[in-house]
Amino acid sequence: MSQKSRVLHLYKTLLFMGRDYPKGYEYFRSRLKKVFEKNSGETNPEIIEKMIAHGNFVIKELETLYMLKKYRTLKKRYCDT
């Protein structure tokens, strides 16, 4: 898979995950777009790879955030404490 297609896939994945962001989808989308536009002129493949790796890290952090939110909601709903 080429770098361009990987970056596009990363962007789409992050947009999809931003639907459940606590501050709202519009906030997430505007920040995401700003970051991707800021780095759009980068041509060094090594730096692009580091950015893709960081993006994948952000995806994992978002998944963790959503799982924690779900856990806390379920715990609040079903536990007496």
Query: Cα(35)–Cα(33) distance, rounded to whole angstroms?
Result: 5
Number of residues written out for the chain: 81
Segment 23-57, tens digit of pLDDT: 999 999 999 999 999 999 999 999 999 999 999 99
The reported pLDDT for the residue numbered 1 is 79
CA atoms within 13 A on the CB side of 71: 6
Query: Cα(64)–Cα(67) distance, rounded to whole angstroms?
Result: 5
Query: Cα(64)–Cα(49) distance, rounded to whole angstroms?
Result: 23
Phi, psi of 47 (to 5 degrees): -70, -40
